[in-house]
Structure 1
Amino acid sequence: MMEHWVASWTACPSGSLHLVDPSLRTMLALYDQTFRCVVTPHRGGSTLRIHLTNRFRRQAIELASVTVAKQTVGAAIDPETLRAVPFGGHRSIRIPEHADVVSDAVELSFGAFEPLAVSVHVPGTVLHPTGHLEANATSYYSRPLSGCSTADADGGRLGMRTTSQPFVSGIDVLAPQEVSAVVAFGDSITDGFVGSRNVSLRQERTVVDRNLRYPDFLQRRIDAAGVARCVVNAGISGNRVVRDGRVVGFGPSAIARVQQDAIEISGVSDVIVQVGTNDFGLPPRARPKAVIDGYEMVIDRLRDAGIRVHLGTLLPAGGALVHDRLARHGSAHRVAVNEWIRSQTSADSVIDFDAALRDPQNPDALAPDYACPDRLHPNAAGYEAMANAVDLTVLGGS
């Protein structure tokens, strides 16, 4: 049977990680440490490869050892599943500045939604590694000067934890030719952020490690329907269509990153684009025409690459402090863009997330059952409703 590489999990590089992660934990990264990054692939397999990133650092980074294994509990792994991860046949790898690398193939059988632990030993300085700020999953790491713990089965030396995702940016699996990847491309609403307060600063702890993002729910629907698609998450919290993030961790604009974070994803056939809320909510704020022009650029690049594009409407943000109360025209701009999304013919289809989640009594706000306390992001029920709004037939289902 002919097989090809298909992305099973992604965490798009968003910047050089903050000293504080979304759980407001201090990120202690200095020298000679091991990081155990826990990832949850959406498709299982028996052969994988791992993507590592140094995209936003101005210096090369040396990795002395990389391993992968099945996670058991916390930082612990199943030692019977431990595999060395080679790069060009070597255990160590030097990643140049502003670069990404992909490993050789590794034989390891695992199932969909079965957590894997990718362990990376950095013998040198690791201050501000490139990574994904809002991972919504717990990873583990050792204290400075603790040496290599990539083969540590019980995880005892990996006592520090973070809900950011350093170094590891993707997992591919070998899959039959009919299987392809669906890239969910967007901002914090795709990333799966759920705020614990009325201001979007700290993530809600109860959703971490539970795979409750809308792409997770969509994958479960696809699996139940027997559709040969794998949904991967290319959301970056704080991301915008037309401007790079001014805060470290908000990532390059959608226009700037569509090549690396969508077009170059292994086995991609479809991209769901749902981004733009921050263009109107975060200063400096954009006008609708600029965002629409940005959509056209993103759509044209995806279509030119032979990829189907599904454009999602923007969710209401009525009552949100920064995106509504402090953004004078935010709601009007969102309505104007949604009207264009529903009427345009550039994309292959439209997914009306706004209609699925808005409050029927107050269309400028999320329905109370779907909103988290910040009134900007959905809660877990809202993310499930987003997944349910996707017509699987446009993704190849029936």
Structure 2
Amino acid sequence: MAMTRRRNQANWRLLAIVPLIAGFVAVTGGSAGSAPVGGGCGADHWVATWMAAPSDSASQADFSFDPITSVGDQTYRMVITPHRAGATLRVRLTNRLSPAEVTFTSVTVGKQAGGPRVWSDSLRTVTFGGASSVTVPAGGDVVSDPVALSFGSFEPLAVSVYVPGSSRAPTEHLQGMATSYYGSPGTGDRTHDVDGGSLDRTTTSVLYVSGVDVLAPASASTLVAFGDSITEGFVGSGYSEVPQSPAAVDQNLRPTDFLQRRLDAAGIPISVVNSGIWGNRLLDDALRTLPQLGPRGLTRIQPDVIEVAGVTDAIVMFGANDFAIPEWATTAEMIAGYTEAVHRLRAAGIRVVLGTNPPLKYSLLAGNFAPFADQRRVELNDWVRTQRIADGVVDYDALLADPHADAIILSRYRGLDNHVGPAGYAAMADLIDIAALRGSGCGNQER
């Protein structure tokens, strides 16, 4: 799809606020997956229970302004919160955006006991093709062998990986809104340490770990929320967005968290995973300029939606950053991008719901440097509401916009950064027509 884009690099300096199963393993230059357990749609199969879409390998600090000291001979214990309970899981590790191969010589998973601690009776060794060590090439991902471990929904797990050699430029998900732990350079393999005492550094970025799948019955499936920081559930502490709000860290206040609780209460066996990236754009690839914004949506739609285990449904919302950050997109370009995205998802058998974008006139970038952005947002929303290529529409704008103010989010739904806040995320989740979700159908069992 050819698109003409205007170039204006001068304003990029304004964005410097970020200084920042069994016996099978697949390691590829893109996404990796493994065959389903069982022989057909009636068999158990894999569904995603948690994911963090890789954003970059360039940050020097997280959204709490804590430096990320990744050098080598270190253990990284990433804390994740699964959305679907299970008794068998597999771990996804990533080196997708890093410039060199990485070797993980020891990987474990267990239930978090608080802070960096893991319950000793839950600690499991994770293997890859039967081996405890695996080397992942630059641009690659890897999926582990099945691991027997019973856990509940929203019960935090700790995935620990040891990198004996260089761990510079780890592929990460920049903005995790959850606290993880790692050791100082040179502290060695601590993956089997249950007390985690030597894991003395913290970060809210997610390093190396990109997903966890769970073995589930045929009735279960996955819904992927695909978008930018609103999808991701970012909560800023002030107008400049960073640092992130410490009150929201480790609280599971993302729109996907609220939606999962609704589905669980209704007894609907759909696992909701989050494929949002702060600052992400559908059309422009930020890797050349501000890598922390992640690969463009049209590039990552394959690994981050279509190849997600068990996916049957996707909620898609982009536009705020395409309109507000150079290279500024036009409405026509965004409509063309949305059209391509919907066609690709539906061709993969995924039911697609498009979300309208809430107001951005008073956001940091659009309000100050792209005054035309909100009008383009309105035009895109009009198209989303009237298009007939997707399977459904969820009108976040109608829910969140203040009808008595000029293009601003209602105060009860708005955060300090004029972004959507936790109450708004809960309301967004309540707006989803869960009865209309496709679900079941076994999803993408081959993933």
Distance, in Å, in 2 between the alignment partners of 1:140 and 1:76 is: 10
TM-superposition CA deviations, 1:321-342 (whole Å, max 9, x none): 2122321211110000000000
2:342 to 287, 295, 299: 299
Tell me the SS of whatever aligns to 1:50: strand
Structure 2 distance, partners of 1:222, 1:170, is 21
Aligned-pair Cα RMSD in Å? 1.0
Cα deviation for residue 17 of structure 1 reads 4.2
Deviations 1:131-167 (A, max 9, x none): 1000111110001110100011111000100000000
Question: Residue deviations 1:222-272, cap 9 Å, x none?
Answer: 101111111000001110011012312211111111001000000000000
Q: From 126, 129, 136, give the equivalent of 1:95.
A: 136
Which residue pairs with 1:133 in the alignment?
174
Shift of the alpha carbon at 1:396? Answer: 4.5
Q: How many residue pairs end up in the alignment?
A: 396
Contact map agreement 1:17 1:132 (CA 8 A) in 2 = no
Q: Pick from 253, 264, 268 the counterpart of residue 212 of structure 1.
A: 253
- Which of these residues, 159, 162, 165, is aligned with residue 203 of structure 2? 162
* Other-structure match for 1:351: 394
State the 1:363 CA deviation.
Answer: 5.5
Alpha-carbon shift at residue 346 of structure 1 (Å): 0.5
2:321 corresponds to which letter in structure 1?
N
Identify which of 399, 420, 429 aligns with 1:387.
429
Q: Secondary structure at the match of 2:225?
A: strand
Match of residue 82 from structure 2? 41
Q: Look up the SS of the partner of 2:196 in the other structure.
A: coil
Q: Does 1:235 align with 2:276?
A: yes
Mapped contact 1:183–1:234 kept (Cα < 8 A)? yes
CA distance in 1, matches of 2:384, 2:406: 17
CA contact under 8 A between 2:312 and 2:438: conserved in structure 1?
Answer: no
CA distance in 2 between partners of 1:350 and 1:268 (Å): 18
Aligned position for 2:65: 24
1:330-377 C-alpha deviation (Å, 9 max, x unpaired):
1110000000000000100000011111112126110011111111x2
The runs of 5 or more residues in structure 2 that have no matched partner are 1-41, 440-447
User: 1:34 offset after TM fit, Å?
Assistant: 0.2
Counterpart residue identity of residue 336, structure 2: D
Aligned-partner Cα distance in 2 for 1:243–1:283: 9
SS in 2 for 1:218: helix
SS of the counterpart of 2:213?
Answer: strand
Correspondence for 2:48: 7
The ranges of structure 1 where at least 4 consecutive aligned residues each deviate by more than 6 angstroms after the TM superposition are: none
For residue 201 of structure 1, report the CA deviation from its aligned partner: 2.3
SS in 2 for 1:359: coil
Q: TM-score, normalised by structure 2?
A: 0.87
SS in 2 for 1:15: coil
Deviates more, 1:318-327 or 1:277-286: 318-327
Q: Distance in 2 between matches of 1:324 and 1:71?
A: 42
* Higher fraction of strand: 1
Q: What is the CA–CA distance in structure 1 between the aligned matches of 2:262 and 2:58, rounded to whole Å? A: 33
Pick one of 267, 280, 284 that aligns with 1:226: 267
Q: Determine if the alignment matches structure 1 residue 283 to structure 2 residue 335.
A: no
Q: Distance in 2 between matches of 1:238 and 1:90?
A: 38
State the one-letter code of the partner of 1:351. Answer: V
1:268 paired residue number: 311
Corresponding residue number in structure 1 for 2:120: 79
Shift of 1:318: 2.8
Indicate which of 247, 255, 262 corresponds to 2:298.
255
SS at match of 2:344: helix
Q: Is the 8 A contact 2:49 2:271 kept in 1?
A: yes
TM-score of the superposition, structure 1-length normalised? Answer: 0.98
Aligned residue for 1:336? Answer: 379
The equivalent residue for 1:197 is: 238
For 2:247 and 2:293, the matched residues in 1 are separated by 23
- Taking only the aligned residue pairs, the percentage that are identical comes to 49
